[in-house]
Every structure is written in C-alpha cells, then in structure tokens.
Amino acid sequence: MKVVNQISELRGEISRARQAGRSVGLVPTMGALHNGHLSLIEEAAHRNDFIVVSIFVNPTQFNDPSDLERYPRDLDADLQILGQQTADIVFAPDVKEMYPEKDKRNFDLSPLDKVMEGKFRPGHFKGVAQIVTKLFDAVTPDRAYFGQKDFQQLAIIRKIAGQSEQEIEIIGCPIIREPDGLAMSSRNVLLTPDQRKAAPLIYQTLVEAKKRQSSYSPVEITEWVTGTINAHPLMQVEYFEIVDEQELMPVTEWGLHVNKVGCIAVHLGRVRLIDNVYFD
C-alpha cells in the first residue's frame, strides 16, 4: 500500500497500473474508517485489480462550519486499518491540493438535490458534486463504490456519472450495521453514551414501519415513524420521507409501480444520523 498526497503522483501510479492492464476501483471516503468502509473496499477488490481509497474531509459539502470542525479525523488510525486491507493506493490530499482555487462550478442535479438532505443542507450536494468529479478526474476509475446509507447521495452520484464523458460504473453497497441495528457511520463516535444507547431506535422504528405497511398508508406510516422517534427525549426527527428510488419524489400510495425507500435524518444533540429502508 502506498500513500500519496498529490494528484500528479496519483495519476502516475494509475498510469502504471493501466499500462499493466489493471482495472481501477475507487472507494472515496472522508476517513474515520469503520467496517462499512471496509465492506466497500472488499467489494471493490472482487471486480478490480487496482484499488484506490481516498481520504479527504471535503469542506465544500458542509453547510454548517461547526459540523466540519467536529467531523472525526485520525489519518494515522485510518492508515493502520487500511494496511490490513487490499488497497493499493491511499490518496490523502490536503485542501489546497483539491481546491487550489475556489470551485465555482454548478451542476444540474434537479430534482434530486431539492428534497430531504438538499432541503435541510443547502449547498451540500453541490459540494459533493465538486469533490466527486475531482476524484473521478484524478483517478479515472472503471468503478466507484459508495454506501447505500447515503441513499440520496448515491442517487445524485449516479446522475453525475451519467453526465460525465467518462464511463464509470457506480456501485451501491449495502448498509453495514452494528449488532444492535445502528447503521455504521463515522459520526457514531461523536455520540455520548446515552445517545449511543438511544440511537438503535432509528432502525428499530424503520423495521416496525415496514411491518405496518399492509395496514397503513404512506402518510400514516410517515406520521407514526416521526411521532415514535420524537417521543424519545434525546431524539428529534429532521425528516422522514417515503420516496421513489429514481426521482426521490414522495410516494403517496403503495400501489405505485416504483421501488419505495423510507429515508430519515435524526438529531441526537449535535450529532445528525441518517438511515433508510426499502418498502415492498
């Protein structure tokens, strides 16, 4: 495993891999690695010969400066973890390397960036598009791997890839959960003991909502999920919406012939967690 910090050096390594006939897989991360990230690397290793893992906390996708400041960072620990994996290159640039000047690009992400995360985190997906396209340009991967926990982000990245001249296959990988059901997230380490004890209620409620699907409408399920979680004194729902998989538009009746996903964001104090489940 080799660690590089500059795009020029990264491109040189990838060029040598290409000359050797190796396919390239990219796993973008913001560090604070956990088993969810490792599952992406494992999946990438199944279908690619040369694996690039990026570690970069992208400032342009944080609409809240305090959230950026609090985001967990431990590059040494991340590198120690990656040393046990199948990564060939770890790309760990600094901000000046990725943004030598202000990125003024705009992206056509509508309607995907107008709902849920986009509604509550203005500018977030513009920042995601900025960093993802920069990574795609630097790595030129055959395939890129993203977790389905960030469901809306995955839909938007698929759209970005579809607009690109590069042919990059976007692979969505299943949510990896703790034994108590909490979706693995780098932010979980920021939870207090009491918050961590409460957090599994999010997934438990989503699972119960699926069981109620045959007896209640999408609107009734939405109200029940929101009310159930908000009844906990440490938790506050920012949104829960049942949407179609492709356009992320609200589902108003179960009979619609679309894949339906329930997406949620919940605040536990200053920590914000997201999760999702598919409905039948």
Report the relative pairing of strands 235-244 and 2-4 from DSSP bridges. Answer: unpaired
DSSP reduced 3-state for 176: coil
Among the listed residues 37, 46, 232, 267, the single catalytic one is 37
Token digits of residue 29: 């991360």
Q: How far apart are the first and last CA of the chain?
A: 42
Could you please report the per-residue DSSP string of 29-85? E-S---HHHHHHHHHHHHH-SEEEEEE---GGG-SSHHHHHHS---HHHHHHHHTTS
CA distances from 118 to 37, 47, 146 (A): 24, 32, 18
Query: Whole-angstrom Cα distance, residue 176 to residue 276?
Result: 12
* Whether residue 257 lies in the annotated active site: no
Residues involved in catalysis? 37
